[in-house]
Structure 1
């Protein structure tokens, strides 16, 4: 079977009624994850206070301060005010923000391995349910150190959800529908981001906000009976009959013929076995062969730069002048047309060019942001949003790009490894934001976005190529990639 022909798409269609149903379930189940990625501006904000210490003379934001009276006009209660993360404890606020990224790092590694070794379904279910549980627990903890532990555990679930849900949707789709998936899969983020601001406006206590954005999603328990395993994973790991049964079921749901499914599955399996006897991939497989090793290292650096820029700008928006809730809603809404641009770019531009353009937009707009006079509030806000849009669209496209470069056997492991570097970038972002010198922080974000664009020049083109199954197929795929990109 040709590497340019997608047998799975031939069996179940590029994206039928059944895949649409699974996409809806995944998107709804991911909402707590999307909110945890954005809620730092509401639960761990920079808060103004009046110092009531003797000798402080009721000065605003005076340090050191033992008895602060916090401004509750915007946020009544936050992690910052609950545990007095001010003055010499200010770095603990940055650490609390970054702890989520540390958890995402660990979760990406853990769930990446679970997904490749034990299946996409178990990894998706475990990460979705863990997210709900850990967020709810974080809302009732009495001590800051326990909250930090919860932030880490929330991050592990976020890492698993982001990674495994994306791969599952990609693997039940045909290659001709993949350009639409980045926009569809990421649409819940924009919606959740905007709706979070509305919820936070009415629930101005951080504990209530955490409970409201977790407990209602306990229904993901029922996903055990609603979410399927990835047919590509079943075939790659030698579970032929399960793959045949699942593909037959999906084909019927999509009103597709079912006569030749068994023979097609056997052909796919034989091709995979002919290329490589190994059925399960590990992180070590990312470094055993030359091409996969180079792709792994480059993609890891790209993810690091991308994550640092995106999360840095995302947290910086909470410090911009104007109404906090309105700023967050506007920054969320501007991402929606960005997803449309992602789909257009995926359809009509080469994958590599589209990603490079997004990184460049982020980098250039941030440089413009620096030189705009601070009294031009609307202009600074506009270019901050454009920078966020560029960083966000690059992040969305990098997910698709990475999933297309690596084969099924190590796809989750590769994305998990890249995500480790992304979490390092996200971890240091709050500290860069808190440098205190605006132009220095923004210059760092811009420079790393430019670096990511340059690194992408060394990666292959993947537009319109079939998802490969084995490392061996990827290693000798040079001719196919060149043909597709001409």
Structure 2
């Protein structure tokens, strides 16, 4: 959950959708790989050990990940922000852009105020606007997570081999996320999220009336619902990151 906000903060507005979708593809690839790992490792304890072991590499690599320049500026650490932005410019062959930019310039452009303030989770409910935003997004997150994992965990309810079902559920996320990238810029985050949630709910509602013997219909509707619920997940991650200010993000 911390990866996407950190990633998005390094991209400009015009590239945020692309970066958010690309990062979310890692989740899809992981779900696809899980099928093969689970097929060969039958014991659930060993399976958990196998899929969590790569986190050791993530912990080791964490020390080389740069802190968000936006967060550094919001906390008055202009020199550190200037260093990381300069390194980013070098990586992208844009050194001329940073040649005349100083730490003071970055601080001024960020319009940082009250740098002595310390922010916490309490700030999500201090002001009316942020409080309303936090409560509304909390409700939406509950609905998105409930539907996504409800469909994901029901892999034995469609008459197919559970490994095949999981593979289909995971694979369908890939084209849907590519579709998210193209239509998000045209219809916006809010409309995209509402559309994805409504169509996901429609698929779940339809399956309530499809009998078990019609497993092909149930599977097709469930796969469509799974892809749409993943679309809502991807959009909501990006939307939430953009709605909150850096200091409470």
Q: Normalization by structure 1: what TM-score?
A: 0.49
Q: Secondary structure at the match of 2:213?
A: coil
Deviation at residue 373 of structure 1 after TM alignment: 3.0
CA contact (8 A) 1:167 1:403 kept: yes
Partner of 2:101: 261
After TM superposition, what 4+ stretches of structure 1 lie above 6 angstroms from structure 2?
Answer: none
How far apart are the structure 2 equivalents of 1:224 and 1:378? 45
Unaligned residue ranges in structure 1 (runs of 5+)? 1-161, 412-486
Deviation at residue 225 of structure 1 after TM alignment: 4.3
Partner of 2:212: 374
Q: Secondary structure at the match of 1:371?
A: coil
Classify 1:278/1:395 alpha carbon distance in 2 versus 1 (closer, same or farther; 3 Å): farther
Classify 1:279/1:318 alpha carbon distance in 2 versus 1 (closer, same or farther; 3 Å): farther
Classify 1:225/1:288 alpha carbon distance in 2 versus 1 (closer, same or farther; 3 Å): closer
Compare relative contact order (CA 8 Å, sep 6+) and give the higher one, 1 or 2: 2
- In the TM superposition, what whole-angstrom CA distance separates every residue of 1:257-307 from its partner, at most 9, and x where no partner exists? 2223315303234x121xx45543212212221211111111111111111
CA contact (8 A) 2:8 2:20 kept: no
Matched, 1:406 2:247: no
The within-5 A match list for 1:143-222 is 162=1, 164-222=2-60
Choose which of 49, 72, 80 in structure 2 pairs with 1:242. 80
CA contact (8 A) 1:318 1:328 kept: no
CA contact (8 A) 2:76 2:115 kept: no
How far apart are the structure 2 equivalents of 1:277 and 1:234? 10
Deviation at residue 191 of structure 1 after TM alignment: 1.2
CA contact (8 A) 2:125 2:131 kept: yes
Q: Secondary structure at the match of 1:213?
A: helix
Query: Would you say how many aligned residue pairs link Structure 1 and Structure 2?
Result: 246
How far apart are the structure 1 equivalents of 2:172 and 2:143? 22
The within-5 A match list for 1:285-364 is 285-364=123-202
Q: Secondary structure at the match of 2:112?
A: helix
Classify 1:367/1:288 alpha carbon distance in 2 versus 1 (closer, same or farther; 3 Å): same
- Asked which structure has the greater CA Rg, the reply is 1
Deviation at residue 219 of structure 1 after TM alignment: 2.4
Classify 1:308/1:225 alpha carbon distance in 2 versus 1 (closer, same or farther; 3 Å): closer
Partner of 2:89: 251
Aligned-residue CA RMSD (Å): 1.6
CA contact (8 A) 2:76 2:112 kept: no
